[in-house]
């Protein structure tokens, strides 16, 4: 085997967390303020070592087990809540989070809509509220109205076309907080 072949083989080896985070970033688009932006946050799995630098999003489980260590970091911190984990589980800690990511595991699970409204209306959370998981074009405008201001979009429509969902309707049957409307 030539030296070039060996070097190439080394370069193609998967690197665990780095590879999964890279693939996640490639396959997802982040929509914020009606534009597509580069995501500067990293989702950390519970078993991924914590880096001293960089913006990270951790699970509620990890926050509960490593709270002190996470609070000592000098970097922005985000938390990811599953749809069954309500706002009341972090209400006393909201000042520590620059970002809260609420998960939509499947299309028909709407519990994160309620959590978003609770965070904005009851707890007055002002940081980034991000929809993650099964985020579909048809839901974007309602998510915005419930208080979300960022969306990890992995839908079948290209992200540039999905942005038009924010302005397609201007009359609504359901009342919500209408956070995204001026």
What are 102-122's pLDDT values in tens digits? 999 988 899 999 999 999 999
Q: Find tokens 């209408």 and name the residue.
A: 178
Q: What is the pLDDT of residue 8?
A: 36
Average pLDDT, the chain: 81
70: pLDDT strictly greater than 60: yes
What are 29-39's pLDDT values in tens digits? 898 988 889 99
φ/ψ of residue 114, rounded to 5: -65, -40
Least confident of 78-82, 91-95, 158-162: 158-162
- The span from the CA of 15 to the CA of 105, in Å, is 26
pLDDT classification of 166: cutoffs 50, 70, 90: low
Whole-model pTM: value is 0.77
Q: Which fold has domain 16-166?
A: TIM Barrel (3.20.20)
Domain boundaries, the chain: 16-166
- The span from the CA of 180 to the CA of 151, in Å, is 13
Of residues 159 and 176, more confidently modeled: 159
Whether the CB-CB separation of 61 and 81 falls below 8 Å is answered with no
- The span from the CA of 80 to the CA of 44, in Å, is 10
φ/ψ of residue 161, rounded to 5: -75, -30
């Amino acid at each position: 085997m030539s030296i070039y072949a060996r070097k190439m083989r080394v370069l193609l080896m998967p690197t665990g967390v780095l590879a999964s985070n890279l693939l996640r970033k490639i396959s997802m688009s982040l929509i914020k303020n009606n534009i597509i932006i580069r995501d500067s946050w990293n989702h950390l799995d519970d078993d991924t070592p914590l880096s001293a630098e960089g913006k990270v999003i951790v699970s509620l489980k990890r926050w509960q087990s490593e709270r002190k260590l996470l609070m000592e970091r000098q970097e922005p911190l985000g938390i990811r809540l599953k749809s069954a984990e309500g706002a009341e589980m972090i209400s006393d800690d909201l000042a520590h989070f620059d970002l809260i990511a609420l998960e939509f595991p499947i299309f028909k699970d709407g519990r994160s809509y309620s959590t978003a409204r609770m965070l904005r209306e009851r707890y007055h959370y002002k940081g980034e509220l991000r929809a993650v998981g099964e985020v579909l074009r048809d839901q974007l405008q309602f998510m915005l109205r419930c208080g979300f201001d960022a969306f990890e979009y992995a839908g079948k429509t290209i992200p540039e076309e999905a942005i038009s969902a924010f302005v397609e309707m201007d009359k609504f049957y359901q009342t919500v907080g209408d956070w995204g409307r001026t």
